[in-house]
């Protein structure tokens, strides 16, 4: 998978896995990573799927309607990539925290739903429920931040609450931050994620 890796100054800090939104690239969330944990190593990945020339992490059939077969395949592909990247770059595979926005947050959620211990934690900006009617792995104690919009037309508050309930039901420690800027990832939401990360993993 096309990606960037930057080695951090603190090897004990979680490695940040950056997952962009539709039409983004592996460079989109680099400023956010530097804000959240400037000492962390960063692995930023570009989605392998193109939709009208726009990179995505998996196909969809329509707005908000996922191609579940492709989602399952692409999630496995990403998990395999992470396993190999840990070997190639020499980082601790068990110390990866995802930072995803929109489509990137959805595949990060899919990793959590399909692979036990795939992530140490997750910052999900405007995610949807990635997949339904599956047995979700035990996530006891896994920290998860969700940035959501009370007026998000793509990811409704009902969708956010359902995802929160599913994650919490699997044992995850979920914190939801609400804003009123639709589907946008705002500076105040990024600041809330940064504050949460500092409380959860220690300021690095």
Tell me the two tokens of residue 25: 């690239």
Catalytic residue among 37, 41, 44, 102: 102
Q: Which residues pair with 164 in a beta bridge?
A: none
The vertex-68 CA angle with 64 and 71, nearest 5°, equals 95
Residue 186 C-alpha from the chain's centroid: 16
What backbone torsions phi and psi does residue 94 show, to the nearest 5 degrees? -85, 5
Tell me the two tokens of residue 200: 């959860």
Tell me the two tokens of residue 97: 């925290």
Catalytic residue among 67, 70, 177, 183: 183
The vertex-89 CA angle with 86 and 95, nearest 5°, equals 45
Tell me the two tokens of residue 18: 């950056």
The answer to whether 102 is a known catalytic residue is yes
Smallest Cα–Cα separation from 129: which of 105, 153, 97? 105
142-to-28, 37, 117 alpha-carbon distances in Å: 26, 18, 9
The answer to whether 183 is a known catalytic residue is yes
The answer to whether 117 is a known catalytic residue is no
d(C-alpha 92, C-alpha 75), whole Å: 20
Residues with a catalytic annotation lie at 102, 152, 183
């Amino acid at each position: 998978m096309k990606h960037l890796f930057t080695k951090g100054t603190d090897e004990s800090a979680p490695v940040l896995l950056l997952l962009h939104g539709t039409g983004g690239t592996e460079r989109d969330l680099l400023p956010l990573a530097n804000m959240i944990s400037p000492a962390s190593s960063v692995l930023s990945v570009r989605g392998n799927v193109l939709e009208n020339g726009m990179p995505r992490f998996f196909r969809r059939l329509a707005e908000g309607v996922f191609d579940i077969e492709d989602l399952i395949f692409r999630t496995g592909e990403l998990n395999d990539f992470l396993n190999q990247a840990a070997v190639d770059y020499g980082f601790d595979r068990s110390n990866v925290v995802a930072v995803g926005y929109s489509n990137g947050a959805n595949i990060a959620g899919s990793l959590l739903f399909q692979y036990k211990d795939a992530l140490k934690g997750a910052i999900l900006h405007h995610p949807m429920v990635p997949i339904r009617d599956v047995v979700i792995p035990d996530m006891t104690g896994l920290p998860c931040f969700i940035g959501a919009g009370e007026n998000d037309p793509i990811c409704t508050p009902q969708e956010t609450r359902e995802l929160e309930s599913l994650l919490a039901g699997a044992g995850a420690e979920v914190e939801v931050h609400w804003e009123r800027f639709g589907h946008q990832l705002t500076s105040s939401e990024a600041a809330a994620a940064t504050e949460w990360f500092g409380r959860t993993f220690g300021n690095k």
